[in-house]
Amino acid sequence: MADSKADAVPTFTIIQADGLYPDDTVEQQIFAPRPGQNYKLDFVSTGLWPTGTPQSKPWSAIPEELRNRIDGIMVLKIGFTESDVELFPKLKVIVRMGVGYDRLDRPALAKKGVIVCNVPDYGTAEIADHAIGLMLSMRRGILLHNERQRATPPDPWMPIETPLVARLQKSTFGVFGLGRIGTAAALRAKAFGFKVLFYDPYLPNGVDKSLDIERTKDIKELFRRSNVLSLHSPCTRETRNLIGYELLSLLPKGAVLVNTSRGEVLNLDGVEQCLRENIISGAALDVVPIEPIPEDNVHSLIQAYRNKEPWLEGRMVLTCHTAFYSPESFVDIRVKSCETLRDVLIDGDALQVEDGSCRHRQRLSLHFPRYAPRADGNGLIRPSVHTNANNLSTGRAYAIHTSLTMAAAALDLTRNFSFYTVPAAWVVAIAPHFYAASLGKFDNKSPRTYTKESTKDQSIDKATKEKIVRAEGAQQNGFENLGLFAAAVVAGNIVRLDNWTLNALSGGYLLSRVAYNLIYINNTTDAMANARSVAYLTGVGIIFTLFIKAGNVLRGQL
């Protein structure tokens, strides 16, 4: 919220960066104050990359006076770098108007306390339909026959024998990344009679059973068995440039490749080599690594496609990142982006936070946005996303009240802090000892005999002596469990449990130990003794939960 005097009406300044729409009717309606709210709205469409223009203007093209008061940004196509962050001193939220968020420098934004959101649930049907359409244009030879009938002279009126064309039924449709779109594509392929096989290491067990499809936990097996391979993963550190010749060469001879996810996932050198060596019969791409395609640096595969080189005839189709588009989906992305920005900036309610991963959809009284990488590979990630993000699918996280969320971002609690709880647990364990030392006549020359000597000291009253004994007992108990807790945290991080789980459990353990210390030291009744046992068992239960969750993940990967 923009700065204002105590009695002034606050103003939210929000921009749509690209300049996608002819008016702001939708935005004004969604951002308008609701009953009981009193604020002003300054909404601006800055027109940095209007539809139909080849490239965007820089963020610095926005007047400085406007940049200095912007609270929220909605952006579709333009990247956002660390240097761009410095141009917006009051920025609180940026919404990527789409699923992918790899063009936003999320670590830089997190350092500035800026919350990053995305819109993962628009255009799912359109993209899945597009993937199936691309597959059919290849696998049924539609594109090849169309081109041959337009030749001069046209081909004879008869089918062309080519490895491209094959019966769909009983062949295998491989899905790399079973998120919303991957699932929708898998169900469509299944309806065509394909045997569907998918790879997504971060999905829970049983997803394959609910969809009646097959799962593989070996990425190489996915490639070895897929007659059609459809890519549906986000671009993360883990997946960027992952799919190249080494994996593509494992595909069955004559396979077809489809990519409607992110161009950076796929290495075009590997695609071209596999096409030239006839390992794959066709490639259908809606996305490429660099968009728009730079005219001064066109990849050789794309250049061959444009030049209509004979070796590539009918074997490649290229659409310009249009899989998401329909008039209806374009409305959805506009409305959902506005609603998401309103939720976090104005209402502080439910939001789709993407910090790289997160992926567990929950309604909580407070949910700090987090980096939960899994597929992101950021080591933070998830989302959900959930990844968990950080898996290959995407998901949701929820929060309440903007001020609390901003405070969390300012403290950088978006990251995995579970390792920090280990030294914190050491401090909590040693604290009762220092408390005990403050009560009696502590002698550092003989610290181990201190408790015994204190109980004999007639100058110390009985109640204080009992507190000293209990405090030292609390310290001993804390260190007895510290090693096991540290091992559980390490185990959870090794298997990449999502950050929300790691943070919640490790933070919960700290709270249980603090409660244990306080109750133990002040224990004077049977009820307090029982409460102490509950606090102790809660901590032990959290440790076991971490080990069990880590074990379940490890078992699923073996």
pLDDT tier at 460 (50, 70, 90 boundaries)? low
Kindly tell me the burial class for residue 57, based on how many C-beta atoms sit within 10 Å of its own C-beta (0-12, 13-18, 19 or more). Answer: middle
- Using the predicted structure, report yes or no on whether residue 19 has a pLDDT greater than 70: yes
Question: What pLDDT digit, counting tens, does each position of 191-244 carry?
Answer: 999 999 999 998 988 999 999 999 999 999 999 999 999 999 999 889 999 999
DSSP-derived letter for residue 302 is: H
- Using the predicted structure, report yes or no on whether residue 448 has a pLDDT greater than 70: no
Give the 3-state secondary structure of residue 195.
strand
In sequence order, the 6+-apart residues with CB closer than 8 A to the CB of 367 are: 397, 398, 399, 400, 500
- Using the predicted structure, report yes or no on whether residue 393 has a pLDDT greater than 60: no
The confidence score (pLDDT) of residue 458 equals: 59
Distance from C-alpha of 318 to C-alpha of 285, rounded to nearest angstrom: 5
11-120+327-410 and 124-318 share one fold: yes
Mean of the per-residue pLDDT values of the chain = 83
CATH of domain 124-318: 3.40.50.720
Active site residue 359: no
From the list 147, 221, 291, 466, the catalytic residue is 291
Beta bridge pairs of residue 258 = 230, 284
Record the pTM: 0.63
Distance from C-alpha of 417 to C-alpha of 43, rounded to nearest angstrom: 37
**Residue 415 · residue 380 · CB < 8 Å:** yes
The full 3-state SS of 206-275, as one line of letters, equals: CHHHHHCCEECCCHHHHHHHCCEEEECCCCCCCCCCCECHHHHCCCCCCEEEEECCCHHHECHHHHHHHH
Distance from C-alpha of 447 to C-alpha of 373, rounded to nearest angstrom: 46
Beta strands at 11-16 and 280-285: parallel, antiparallel or unpaired:
unpaired
The full 3-state SS of 124-183, as one line of letters, equals: HHHHHHHHHHHHHHHHCCHHHHHHHHCCCCCCCCCCCCCCCCCCCCCCEEEEECCCHHHH
Percent of the chain at pLDDT exceeding 70: 82
From the list 321, 401, 453, 466, the catalytic residue is 321
> What tokens does 111 get?
């350092």
pLDDT tier at 439 (50, 70, 90 boundaries)? confident
Q: What is the mean pLDDT of residues 467-481?
A: 85
Distances (CA, A) of 364 to 56, 142, 344: 39, 50, 14
Question: What pLDDT digit, counting tens, does each position of 353-365 carry?
Answer: 554 333 323 222 2
Residue of 259 and 516 predicted with greater confidence:
259
Q: For residue 237, how far is the Cα from the chain centroid?
A: 11
In sequence order, the 6+-apart residues with CB closer than 8 A to the CB of 151 are: none
Active site residue 291: yes
Of 47-56, 92-101, 281-290, 416-425, which gets the smallest average pLDDT? Answer: 47-56
Give the 3-state secondary structure of residue 350.
strand
**Helix, strand, coil share (%) of the chain residues, nearest 5:** 45, 10, 45
Handedness of CA 201, 202, 204, 206 (dihedral sign): negative
The confidence score (pLDDT) of residue 454 equals: 58
- Using the predicted structure, report yes or no on whether residue 100 has a pLDDT greater than 50: yes
The confidence score (pLDDT) of residue 353 equals: 58
- Which of 263, 264, 255, 257 minimizes the C-alpha distance to 320? 263
Percent of the chain at pLDDT exceeding 90: 60
Cα dihedral 162/164/165/166 (nearest 10)? 120
- Which of 243, 252, 177, 247 minimizes the C-alpha distance to 215? 177
pLDDT tier at 349 (50, 70, 90 boundaries)? low
May I ask the CATH architecture of the domain 11-120+327-410? 3-Layer(aba) Sandwich (3.40)
* CATH number, domain 418-557, options 3.40.50.10070, 3.50.50.60, 3.40.640.10, 1.20.120.550: 1.20.120.550
| Domains of the chain, residue spans | 11-120+327-410, 124-318, 418-557
**Residue 118 · residue 179 · CB < 8 Å:** no
Question: What pLDDT digit, counting tens, does each position of 110-158 carry?
Answer: 999 999 999 988 899 999 999 999 999 999 999 999 999 999 999 999 9
Number of H helices, E strands in the chain: 19, 14
DSSP-derived letter for residue 291 is: S
Give the 3-state secondary structure of residue 337.
helix
pLDDT tier at 383 (50, 70, 90 boundaries)? very low
The confidence score (pLDDT) of residue 381 equals: 26
The confidence score (pLDDT) of residue 464 equals: 76
Question: What pLDDT digit, counting tens, does each position of 20-75 carry?
Answer: 899 999 999 999 999 988 999 999 999 998 877 878 899 999 999 999 999 999 99
From the list 262, 342, 360, 386, the catalytic residue is 262
Give the 3-state secondary structure of residue 536.
helix
